[in-house]
């Protein structure tokens, strides 16, 4: 799932205020494991945990945990040293597949495990449960952490385990924002998507569904509605904003996407709010009642209204929680204000260096990169701070037999005025310009070479002749103008 934190649009954020305070710029002790001292550059093979003392414990079993595990393995520091504690029954997997491919009907070749275990999304080895066993990584499945004792350096889990740790990495991700129970948020037939179990439950509903309502006009809403089209279901998207993906799409770009969805039979109810979800005689959801009193029939409802960082067990132990963007405050090496504790992925509120503000990014790319950066900083002498370039993407209507598959990517910051080039058939690009500089680019249906150009443009922020860009007759010409500006700046 490609999502951006509800608490932070790309345009807004908290300006950094002394992000590298003395509490964060501390030196780390060399972690010990009962009978042995671990030297960062000295690899000692091990196949067992000593006296239940874990040198490194990762809490959370999502993408960030999987990429962190791979980085520990690459540095020879996983075997007998690393433990992952997760509430899921599965090894870490590429979560975007859940809404981009998992929901397709069986005749349209849906994604299934073990096909999308971490780290296949970035071209790495597929880390199945056997991979973790082979690497000597202890996996504690279906056993979420319920509390942490900072002084004793222990974790308590739902099953009653007490785990001693030397270094703790929090990678708990997010939980789906839910409708309150009093307005029908927990009715049978009402679905939220964060994991495989959620997706399996939704598929069971889609197999019997006739009328589907998707609540939310963001990434999840767009991707789930596109999947519902593959099931040939009566589908309606409802959201309070003026247009799809209002935090990123311009009105004109959103209009083009909305027209594409309408061509596929999807109906839109924009600028409206839901009063409650109503049950039928069988107790399942039967309709959606809007604030204006109108009723929309639905036997399946999918709620995609954002997510909240999963900080529950860590709220009362002294970790700094960021009130503006949510999550756990970290520095540029993903260190929290408590020595020996790190936070990565969706749950981390980190310094977005290139834009001088604090951000929390809910995206698989950040999960991967933050995990790798954190573990490298922990295990080596690396002191380079994290310098992330915001990146978001989506793929819709990719199922077999779809008349048009859509894939777009965005890099940078959506600030300033926009210049839109192209007619959306076959491609379109939007450029964000501020004070004469190119700040961000969105491209749909580009070639591999064109997509590779986007991060270079967004990172360099070259000065571009706005009038020349506006006169471009095609996306190709516009990108060529931007590339020339990039070369001229070198």
Q: What is the pLDDT of residues 160-207, one digit of tens each?
A: 999 999 999 999 999 999 999 999 999 999 999 999 999 999 999 999
Is residue 147 pLDDT above 70, yes or no?
A: yes
Q: How far is CA 129 from the centre of its chain?
A: 22
Reported CATH class of domain 405-488: alpha beta
What pLDDT is attached to residue 53? 64
Alpha-carbon span 165 to 154, nearest angstrom: 6
pLDDT over threshold 70, residue 304: yes
Alpha-carbon gap, residue 130 to 139, rounded angstroms: 11
Indicate if 405-488 has the same CATH topology as 53-175+309-380: no
pLDDT in tens, 401-450: 898 999 999 999 999 999 999 988 889 999 999 999 999 999 999 999 99
Could you tell me the pTM of the whole model? 0.89
Q: β-strands 138-140, 82-85: how paired?
A: parallel
Q: Dihedral (C-alpha) 380, 384, 385, 391: value to the nearest 10 degrees?
A: -100
What confidence tens digit (pLDDT) does each residue in 452-480 have?
999 999 999 999 999 999 999 999 999 99
Q: Which residue has the higher pLDDT, 29 or 444?
A: 444
> Domain 181-305 - what CATH class?
alpha beta
pLDDT given for residue 193 in this prediction: 97
As assigned by CATH, the class of the 53-175+309-380 domain is alpha beta
All structural domains of the chain with their residue ranges:
53-175+309-380, 181-305, 405-488
CA distance 340 to 289: 49
Does pLDDT of 5 surpass 80?
Answer: no
Tokens of 176: 């789906």
Q: What is the pLDDT of residues 47-98, one digit of tens each?
A: 345 456 689 999 999 999 999 999 999 999 999 999 999 999 999 999 999 9
What is the structure's pLDDT at 426? 86
């Amino acid at each position: 799932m490609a999502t951006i934190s509800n608490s932070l649009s790309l345009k807004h954020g908290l300006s950094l205020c002394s992000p590298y305070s003395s509490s964060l710029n501390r030196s780390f002790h060399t972690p010990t494991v009962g009978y042995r001292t671990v030297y960062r550059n000295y690899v000692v093979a091990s196949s067992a945990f000593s006296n239940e003392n874990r040198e490194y414990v990762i809490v959370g079993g999502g993408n960030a945990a999987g990429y962190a595990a791979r980085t520990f393995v690459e540095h020879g520091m996983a075997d007998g040293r690393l433990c992952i504690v997760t509430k899921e029954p599965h090894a870490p997997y590429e979560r975007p597949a859940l809404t981009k491919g998992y929901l397709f009907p069986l005749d349209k070749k849906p994604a299934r495990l073990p096909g999308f275990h971490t780290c296949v999304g970035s071209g790495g080895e597929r880390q199945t449960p056997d991979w973790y066993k082979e690497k000597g990584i202890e996996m504690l499945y279906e056993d979420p952490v319920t509390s942490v004792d900072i002084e004793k350096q222990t974790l308590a889990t739902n099953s009653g385990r007490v785990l001693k740790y030397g270094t703790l990495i929090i990678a708990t991700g997010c939980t789906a924002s839910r409708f309150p129970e009093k307005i029908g948020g927990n009715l049978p037939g009402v679905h939220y998507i964060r994991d495989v179990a959620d997706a399996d439950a939704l598929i069971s509903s889609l197999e019997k569904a006739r009328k589907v309502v998707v609540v939310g006009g963001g990434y999840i809403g767009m991707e789930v509605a596109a999947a519902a089209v593959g099931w040939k279901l009566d589908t309606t998207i409802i959201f309070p904003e003026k247009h799809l993906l209002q935090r990123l799409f311009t009105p004109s770009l959103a209009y083009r996407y909305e027209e594409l969805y309408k061509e596929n039979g999807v109906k839109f109810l924009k600028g409206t709010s839901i009063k409650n979800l109503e049950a039928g005689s069988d107790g399942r959801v039967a309709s959606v009642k809007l604030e204006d009193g109108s009723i929309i029939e639905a036997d399946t409802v999918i709620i995609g209204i954002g997510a909240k960082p999963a900080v529950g067990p860590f709220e009362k132990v002294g970790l700094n929680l960021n009130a503006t963007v949510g999550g756990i405050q970290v520095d540029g090496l993903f260190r929290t204000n408590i020595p020996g504790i790190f936070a990565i992925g969706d749950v981390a509120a980190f310094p977005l260096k290139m834009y001088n503000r604090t951000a929390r990014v809910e995206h698989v790319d950040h999960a991967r990169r933050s995990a790798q950066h954190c573990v490298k900083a922990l295990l080596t002498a690396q002191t380079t701070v994290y310098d992330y370039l915001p990146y978001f993407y989506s793929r819709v209507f990719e199922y077999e037999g779809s008349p048009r598959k859509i894939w777009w990517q965005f890099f940078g910051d959506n600030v300033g005025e926009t210049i839109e080039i192209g007619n959306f058939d076959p491609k379109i690009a939007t450029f964000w310009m501020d004070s004469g500089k190119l700040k961000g680019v969105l491209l749909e249906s580009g070639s591999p070479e064109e997509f590779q150009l986007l991060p270079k443009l967004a990172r360099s922020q070259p000065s571009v002749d706005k009038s020349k860009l506006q006169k471009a007759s095609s996306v190709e010409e516009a990108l060529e103008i931007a590339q020339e500006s990039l070369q001229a700046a070198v």
